[in-house]
């Protein structure tokens, strides 16, 4: 599925709508160039989960931020500074193990830096800049749960 947004506001709205499709246990792997809108999308996801988006920032220097005052706990990982040779020593898999118990959602920026550690079932979102404010989101579901999320998002787009 491909979704185009034309402004940061639309990217946030897309994140809010995506969050409404989540029930807990999901792992969302984000990839895209620096400045492509990964953190803006996470802010929208957070808002959709009931988290103040102003509290959400890229956790580049701390690796993982946890937001628990919401409908679902949100683990926000940023692997930008991660050297893939050392990714196995971080224990980041614990985030999706907690998520898998249906109490949380895990969102990973720069997920390609730990590709070998990602769970086999996940939602991958590749983000590409299509202009100063326009973004293209290419969603790929791995597993029935994620294919269902994409079907729901596709149906909502068709209704508009």
Q: What is the mean pLDDT of the chain?
A: 85
CA–CA dist 19, 48 (Å, integer):
5
- For 59-89, what is each residue's pLDDT tens digit? 666 677 888 878 898 989 888 866 555 445 4
46-to-57, 87, 88, 131, 147 alpha-carbon distances in Å: 11, 25, 27, 25, 21
Q: Between these two residues, 113 and 93, which has the higher pLDDT value?
A: 113
Instruction: Tell me how far apart the alpha carbons of residues 19 and 62 are, in angstroms, rounded to a whole number.
Output: 24
Q: The CATH number of the domain where 47 resides is what? A: 3.40.50.300
The span from the CA of 82 to the CA of 6, in Å, is 30
The domain containing residue 79 runs over which residues? 2-159
> pLDDT tier at 2 (50, 70, 90 boundaries)?
very high
Question: Which of these, 71, 66, 77, lies nearest to 24 by C-alpha position?
Answer: 71
Alpha helix (H) residue ranges in 77-160: 93-98, 144-159
Number of domains within the chain:
1
CA dihedral defined by 114, 116, 119, 120, rounded to 10 degrees? Answer: 140
Helices (H) and strands (E) in the chain, counts: 4, 7
């Amino acid at each position: 599925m491909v979704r185009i947004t034309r402004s940061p506001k639309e990217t946030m709205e897309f994140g809010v709508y995506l969050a409404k499709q989540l029930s807990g246990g999901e792992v969302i792997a984000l990839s895209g160039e620096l400045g492509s809108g990964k953190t803006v999308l996470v802010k929208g996801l957070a808002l959709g989960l009931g988290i103040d988006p102003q509290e959400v920032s890229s956790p580049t220097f701390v690796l993982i931020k946890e937001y628990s005052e919401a409908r679902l706990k949100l683990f926000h990982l940023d692997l930008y500074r991660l050297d893939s040779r050392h990714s196995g020593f971080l224990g980041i898999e614990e985030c999706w193990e907690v998520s898998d118990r249906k109490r949380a959602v895990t969102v990973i920026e720069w997920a390609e830096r730990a590709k070998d550690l990602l769970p086999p079932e996940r939602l991958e979102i590749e983000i590409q800049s299509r202009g100063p404010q326009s973004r293209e989101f290419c969603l790929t579901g791995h597993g029935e749960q994620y294919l269902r999320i994409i079907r729901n998002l596709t149906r909502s787009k068709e209704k508009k």
